[in-house]
Structure 1
Amino acid sequence: MGISHIVNAAAGRFHIDTGPKFYKDLLVDYYGVEAEDNPNFDLSIYFYPVARYIRAALNSPRGKVLVHCAMGISRSATLVLAFLMICEDMSLADAIQAVRSHRGICPNSGFLEQLRELDLRLGREKRMGAGAC
């Protein structure tokens, strides 16, 4: 599939066995996020670092990024939504619509709240003329 970069949103103690060792025989760049699919988990601390990683990956020659977690519907979806909001200047509603046009997603309630807060913050920054990505 030509994947050049991996974001694993299920790294850490309750991880799926797809950490850096899993990809060691492939020519891919790996970024692990130790996140739990729990509404009380603060995934927002990863929004900007992951968005910058994805942007840099996509700007690299033949850059193609796989963002995954355990089920592909909550943690990874949340990080992709944050990327679209931060780097592609999409609202939360537009980002959800764009991603859902390609696959089913269901970020947990806590992650949705964190994305809503990001949406509000980005809206304020946009009105003030600040760039995000």
Structure 2
Amino acid sequence: MSSVKEESKQYMTVKDLQKVLDSCNLQLHQVDEVWPNIYVGNVHVAQNRSALQKLGITHVLNAAHSKRGSIGDQRFYGNDIVYCGIPADDSTYFDIDVYFKPAADFIHKALKSPDGKVLVHCIMGLSRSSTLVLAYLMIHRHLPLRRALKNLVEKRAIYPNRNFLALLLDLDLQLKRKERACDIL
């Protein structure tokens, strides 16, 4: 019992994460580069082929696929852009964590492709898209959640909902446990 208490003291809460988010003083833009060759944006930039071409986007991850105002598919982007759609709801009940690994793998593969640049978007570019980018940074770049979050809020105004923050905290805990288990072996 005491080891569980000790372990929980080491980890953040949703409230701690919201304080980091509240520290952001940036204005919300249509699109921002949040990590080298990773852009987070809204549906308007995602549906603007000339803007995507100017940015050099090669891959689009739509975190609001098939939602009102964000219907995208490979036909829309043609042969120039690889498309992936995730039908996520920005709600306190949606289990976006089932998409953490597939989204992170899509972003990772996009960045490994020649001249790869990926746009991750939802409707406003605040919650779903930023949550999936945070998961990528944690899974493939091995950043702890707090550091990943701080990196993003320095580049873009984001605000994942409380549910998504809790799911990211769970991922952070899983990754730390996995890392510790590997260190023991």
TM-score, normalised to structure 2, is 0.66
Note if 1:101 corresponds to 2:101. Answer: no
Q: 1:17 deviation in Å?
A: 3.3
Which 4+ stretches in 1 moved above 2 angstroms?
A: 12-15, 17-22
CA-based RMSD: 1.4
Question: Match for 2:74 among 20, 26, 44?
Answer: 20
- Give the equivalent residue in structure 1 for 2:21: none
Task: Identify which range, 82-91 or 11-20, moves more after superposition.
Answer: 11-20
User: How many residues of Structure 1 are paired with residues of Structure 2 in the alignment?
Assistant: 129
Return the offset for 1:39. 1.4
**TM-score, normalized by length of structure 1?**
0.91
Which residue number in structure 1 is paired with residue 143 of structure 2? 90
Task: Map Cα deviations across residues 94-122 of structure 1 (whole Å, 9 max, x no partner).
Answer: 01001111001000000000000000000
Give the structure 1 partner of residue 128 of structure 2.
75
Q: Is the 8 A contact 2:72 2:85 kept in 1?
A: no
CA contact (8 A) 1:14 1:36 kept: no
1:13 Cα shift? 4.2
Report percent identity of matched pairs.
45
Larger radius of gyration: 2
**1:52 to 2:105 alignment:** yes
* Structure-2 separation of matches of 1:117 and 1:14: 29
Query: 1:15 Cα deviation (Å)?
Result: 5.0
Is 1:116 paired with 2:145? no
Q: 2:84 aligned with 1:31, yes or no? A: yes
